[in-house]
Structure 1
Amino acid sequence: MIDLDEAAAVLAGRRGGWQAAGLDVGRLTWRDAEAPWPQPLETDRARALDPDSVGIVVSGAGDAVLSVVLFRGGWADVDFLDGADGGGALPASDITSATGFGARLDRWIARAFGSAERAG
């Protein structure tokens, strides 16, 4: 089980660098496992009493977009459009910690935007 609050801290720790590189960073979204179907996405962490996912959307130049939703079970839904030659889903299973999530996140950002330094 991944601690989603720790994963959110990883995302928050990268936000400033991404923004400095010219990326537009959306708000975190949370899904509460106990909410009735269809489970709404919340931007207020306090409204997700039993969070089972945390997500974010990052956008860059040339219509490049990366969407990441991390599930506490250790996998993520990761989709991107790179603005140049397409996009698709990226492999995102067997995530065992917030630190491991951060390392993968850096690779996903590089794949979607080339590198954060060239993103803007």
Structure 2
Amino acid sequence: MDYIIDLNHAAAEIVSRLPAWTAAGLLPGPITWRDEAASWPQRLEVERVVITDPDSVGVFIQSADERNAVNIVLYQGGWVDLDGLVNDVITAECPKIKSAEEFGVVLDAAIACFLDSPPCPFELGATRPLGRFVS
């Protein structure tokens, strides 16, 4: 796999948004890391220092009532797994990105959808496939 995204910078994008998410009543979980060098099955770790060769970073966020959730994972190869459970509907998106800054855009867009506040390029909770918004 080609490594194009600095996951440490991507983690900083998550960290910078944690206070706003919490203030909005969301329940963000710990930042998780996966180690490319680990034996299969690779475990998710919450301590960056135990990761030798990070290949993903992510965060799981729930609504205050724990009925809705979104899981956002960035892989070093430049794609994001975005999985949401909103209004009892599961949706998924996999945008491709080129930088940690673009990951910040994905985070903001996903949370805007999650909070049902425009603009929302995703259709979390929709019953049709989601469209791309970052090229």
What is the root-mean-square deviation in Å for CA atoms of aligned residues?
A: 1.2
Q: Which runs of 5+ in 2 are unaligned?
A: 118-135
Match 1:112 to one of 105, 111, 114: 114
Q: Which has the higher contact order (CA 8 A, sep 6+)?
A: 1
- The TM-score with structure 2 as length reference comes to 0.79
Q: Which runs of 5+ in 1 are unaligned?
A: 116-120
Q: Give the equivalent residue in structure 2 for 1:6.
A: 9
Secondary structure at the counterpart of residue 30 of structure 2: coil
In the TM superposition, structure 1's runs of 4+ consecutive aligned residues that sit over 2 Å from their partners are: none
Alignment match of 1:97 (pick from 74, 84, 99) = 99
Q: Which structure is higher in helix share?
A: 1
Task: Report how far residue 61 of structure 1 moved.
Answer: 4.0
Q: Which amino acid aligns with 2:81?
A: D
Q: Distance in 2 between the 1:37 and 1:85 partners? A: 32
Q: May I ask how many residue pairs the two structures share in their alignment? A: 113
- Among candidates 76, 80, 83, match of residue 79 of structure 1: 83
Q: Determine what percentage of the aligned residue pairs are the same residue.
A: 45
CA distance in 1, matches of 2:51, 2:95: 23
How far 1:92 sits from its partner (Å)?
1.5
Q: Deviations over 1:51-106 (max 9, x none)?
A: 00001001114511000110000001110011x2623002322x101111101111
